[in-house]
Structure 1
């Protein structure tokens, strides 16, 4: 009888000791996981901020390259043409009028370029406006035939998302202009039920997507899309062009 009571007592004492120990162990495990999660969130935040800063720098660098091309290939050619007209005008009113008209066009292009690179204009520009301006430049420079379309009712996007999206799009544009030999570029923004879908397609020479986004910055584009929790897909076929699709679902405020 006493031995049975002693056994019960030892069991109770064991349980009383094990319960606090188990609680301490659970607390330690929970705290370690919590700290690890916080560290991962901080690292993710730093990665995003670094990527955001890098994207802003790259956008500025790409814009400066675009300015250089436009000054040389567009405005420079117009001014040179006006100079040649004047040199060969022999003071004929018709040739002088043609020269004045060419210089007027060059001045308009210079004003448009000045507006596009104004820091305040860029800061207050939406993603749609920035993309539209890029495509307008392609048309002016006769780089490529382009079409820009908006479907649905546009909604405001977070500024940080716009920077990342614009850099991805800008990089795709750059690859199209420099490498694809495309003659047509189509861009469509779909807005529906707080979901954004961007589709960009060219009719260039394409490439092998099995290369797993290696080369010409495609892997970098996919990495950036993940940072803003969006899905990015690139499909391409040799001699049939390349298509970029970006999708992100937003939550109603």
Structure 2
């Protein structure tokens, strides 16, 4: 009888141990399964983010190529046609009386101004021109052109010793400036437009500010906020952070921050003390 009781106890102990081992095995299996699921979910999210980034990069590269093509077309064809018209008017002016000749000369002056405007616009669209000039000089040229237009008063401030951020980063910052200016001219009803370039050894900041009517960022629709999304998306391509703040009747401030040491173009050795490249 005692032997049978011992057997029952052993069976109970063995069954309990088996159930415990089975429980541990099931818990371990569930943990491994959950870990694998999390890993797969993370990999899928990374692939999705990478695909989105590559898609955005490709779209922007196509936009840049299109802008370069438009720039060449404007420079090579439109300016040539306008120059030909100006030349013909000059020849025509030698065959008419003084009153008509004066009007022809006025029109020639207008055409000359148009040729200069087209050339300047062509330069602002060209990647090669921006790359050759650098960010600071390109923005200085834009400030002169915009102030002459009378559309808005632009002020450019440069703090610190300017250095090159690399071709890609400087192009992205310039396109962000163009996007912001376009938004201001279309929607802000602003009188002043300020650009700040702040150069520090460990950080570069670009600030874009206007004194327009402002807006509430949370109320922007997909359509009305596309310009601001373009700004943040472009900034993300080069690892820059974009912060956009605004409120009704208080204008808008865009702050972009980039650590030049982590920028791949900086690491390639393009950093120097020359202004904007």
Deviation per CA, 1:124-164, whole angstroms, max 9, x where unpaired?
A: 56555554443343134333221111223456557665555
Verify: 1:11 aligned to 2:5, yes or no.
Answer: no
- Structure 1 segment 144-155 matched on structure 2, within 5 A: 144-154=152-162
Residue aligning to 2:129: 121
How high is the TM-score relative to the length of structure 1?
0.67
Higher relative contact order (CA 8 A, sep 6+): 2
Residues in 2 aligned to 1:223 and 1:12: alpha-carbon distance in whole angstroms: 62
Count of residue correspondences: 241
| Corresponding residue to 1:231 among 242, 251, 255 | 242
Structure 2 stretches lacking a partner, 5+ long: 1-5, 99-104, 263-277
Residues in 1 aligned to 2:163 and 2:27: alpha-carbon distance in whole angstroms: 51
- 8 A contact 2:179–2:231 mirrored in 1: no
Residue aligning to 1:94: none
| Corresponding residue to 2:176 among 151, 168, 191 | 168
After superposition, the CA RMSD in angstroms is 4.7
How high is the TM-score relative to the length of structure 2?
0.62
- 8 A contact 1:208–1:237 mirrored in 2: yes
Residues in 1 aligned to 2:38 and 2:163: alpha-carbon distance in whole angstroms: 38
Residue 188 of structure 1: how far off its partner (Å):
0.6
Structure with greater Cα Rg: 2
| Corresponding residue to 1:143 among 145, 151, 173 | 151
Residue 30 of structure 1: how far off its partner (Å):
1.2
Residue aligning to 2:252: 243
SS of equivalent to 1:237 = coil
Verify: 1:30 aligned to 2:35, yes or no.
Answer: yes
Residues in 2 aligned to 1:62 and 1:171: alpha-carbon distance in whole angstroms: 17
